[in-house]
A and B are shown apart, each in its own frame.
Chain A
Amino acid sequence: MTARPAVFSKFRDAQAELERSGAVLFRDADGVESLIIRFPYAINYIHSYAEDSPFFLGLAEGRLRGSKCRKPKCGFVYATPRSHCMVCGAPTEWIDLPPKGRLHSWTTCHFGSEAFLKETPYNLGMVEFDGVGSLLLVRLKDAVESDLYVGMPVEARFDPNPKYSITDVWFVPSR
């Protein structure tokens, strides 16, 4: 690094220089110069799925599991599983979700968070299942924006090489 980093008055240019050299002086409209450095910030988080683990292990076996409240008077069925019932507080049990559902809503993301930018455009869908009280948010594949509509029949596909992520399952238009 030099004694005095290069000076920029456009923030975008300053950002680009920062990528190159790691330090830059930004001069604002009032002539105030601020020293900006690049400060890397990366972590490997120890992410436990904890009580949701059976869902993700299920995906790896090609099973899509929801959960059902154990209290007979309640019996609420969740597409996105939870180990205790949100309605009555009782524990739930694991159930298999129907293999087919319908799109409750959908979108195509042409941009995304940095982690997913390289995957754009991608489709997200909320799937509703017969007899199930809540929805499941998933990726939709084998379809482009103009194919998708509310009510579209869809069905699950599973990654043969599971990554233990919600992306191990995706939905495609039902044939």
Chain B
Amino acid sequence: MPARPKKSRARTHAPVRKPAPVSRSQGRKVYMVTGGVTKFAKAHPSMDFRLMVKRAYDYALKGIPNLTADRIDGTRISYFSDHFTRQLKAASMVQDYLGMNPKGSIRLEWGGATGGECFQAAYEAVASGRMDVCLGAGFETMSRVATWKGNEFIALASDTNFDFPLGGFYTGYYALMVIRHIYEYLRLGRFANVKDEREAQRLAIAEGSRIMSLVSVKNHLNALHNPYAQYPKRLTVDDVLNSEMISYPLTREQICTMSDGAATVVLCTEERAKEFTDRPIRVIGVGTGTDTMRLADRPFGKVPLMPHERPRDYADLRYPGVHSFRAGRAAGIEAYRMAGITNPNSQLDFIELHDAYASSEIQTYEDLGLCKYGEGYSFVERGDPFLKDIDYGFPVPRAGAIPVNPSGGLIACGHPVGATGLMQAVFAFWQLQGTVAKHFGDPALQLDHPKRGAIHSHAGTGSAVTVSILERGFR
């Protein structure tokens, strides 16, 4: 068997540290009471970042007469890149455009997980007692540079000594990860009996590419019913496979795009929530995890287990390597523990996760324990993450088991980095409120009385991940 480094005296297994225990005191109960999103678009030349946030903010406050600016104690504002904005301290300009001065504010930046961090920072402001009502606002204006320059800016979020100068390109990094994921779980799985090594790997990659395309079809098709989405469309598996090759084996339709957009959330205490809405949504768990900036430095250790997993499930797996996201697993474990979730499949009704690539959606199913490591491809083929009432053009036997990215995810909605994690919060909020039809003008994506959902925001090559759990706070 190639590519399993031989044993040697040098130490090759870094210990995988257990995630930090959840604090016994989780502070005050925190509720989400409203949110707003601008339509994500390739470019919004007629709105700068301040106006985009203002639109998402006005939308959030609309229809809640007693939620006015003076009731908001302060803000948490997120955007990823000063390069894209070409305006440092842009969060200050949002703060003053919204008329929030001199209230407190903190700017958040955490790569692709910037929006997810912003959500959790707003959560912490309320849970800690520092604020009763906190506005979380995020944005990104990525259209201000050409697409390939934008890719360069994003690639600067990789090590500029060792990684960027090689041809820094995030799709390339994710391609490296999925080639290994396919090797671990398809080559050594359903193609284990193919004798010729290179033939086996080609077959495995073809199979993996086909299954990734099912994910892309799902997300683009779901988004047909989401008016905020940037690239809703009906695609076939062949359309996805035959779209331009970007970094082998990832094709254009398996990759999210750059966007302009903004999103806002309002989080508050239980007492305030009752004043603002009769349909509050409680944030019952938050988790974050991290990993090395460089893919090359990821350890080869043991899998941190979730309550429904056993050590024997992964006896031979060297983890995370470059095939899985340890940060996502750590974030999931922390958030589930706080929320009292011991089996996400039975206790979550849907997940909005960070599908910057169709590959990373599949990797994330495993990180979040929706299926075991190695089962992500079968999980897609069985249909678990698909919606029940949508015709995808192929059989999805277990559709509706646990819908993933019912909104269309990043692949179809777009990815204005600082807004993305907050967009997920808003879509999850509307799902749990049962107000999707009202906000989307289309009931197709509304799940049947969902009780609990998770949102997942992911940075870099998996160097930081946040997971937050939301639960219906009304009958």
Please list the residues of chain A having a beta carbon within 8 angstroms of any beta carbon in chain B. 11, 14-15, 26, 28, 30, 32-34, 36, 39, 41, 47, 49, 52, 56, 68, 74-80, 82, 86-87, 102-117, 119, 122, 124, 126, 128-139, 145, 149-152, 165-167
Contacts and interface: CB of A to CB of B under 8 A. Distances in A.
Most buried by B among A11, A32, A39, A111: A111
Contacts of B154: 113
Contacts of A139: 166-167
Contact of B15 (A87, A104, A111, A165): A87
Given A41-B86, A47-B160, A104-B3, A124 B167 contact: yes
Contact of A75 (B10, B86, B296): B10
Contacts of A80: 162, 294, 296-297
Interface in B11-53: 11-15, 42-43, 45-46
Contacts of B176: 105-107, 124, 126, 137
A126 B299 CA distance: 14
A76 B155 contact: no
Interface residues of B, number: 62
20 contacts: A30-B46, A32-B46, A47-B160, A52-B161, A76-B10, A86-B292, A87-B15, A107-B176, A108-B248, A112-B168, A114-B151, A122-B167, A129-B5, A133-B300, A135-B298, A136-B296, A149-B198, A150-B180, A150-B187, A166-B163
B11 A76 contact: yes
Contacts of B166: 124, 137-139, 166-167
Contacts of A130: 5-6, 8
B297 A78 contact: yes
Given A113-B152, A133-B11, A103 B3 contact: yes
B172 A107 contact: yes
Nearest to A119: B167
A76 to B, nearest CB: 5
Interface in B145-198: 146, 148-149, 151-152, 154-155, 160-163, 165-169, 171-172, 175-177, 179-180, 183, 187, 197-198
Contacts of A114: 146, 148-149, 151-152
Nearest to B163: A137
Contact of B294 (A15, A137, A145): A137
Contacts of A119: 167
Contacts of B171: 109, 111
A108 B250 CA distance: 10
Given A75-B11, A126-B296, A145-B248, A116 B167 contact: yes
Contact of B5 (A68, A111, A113, A128): A128
Interface stretch (B126-134, B239-247, B405-413, B425-433): B239-247
B9 interface: yes
B338 interface: no
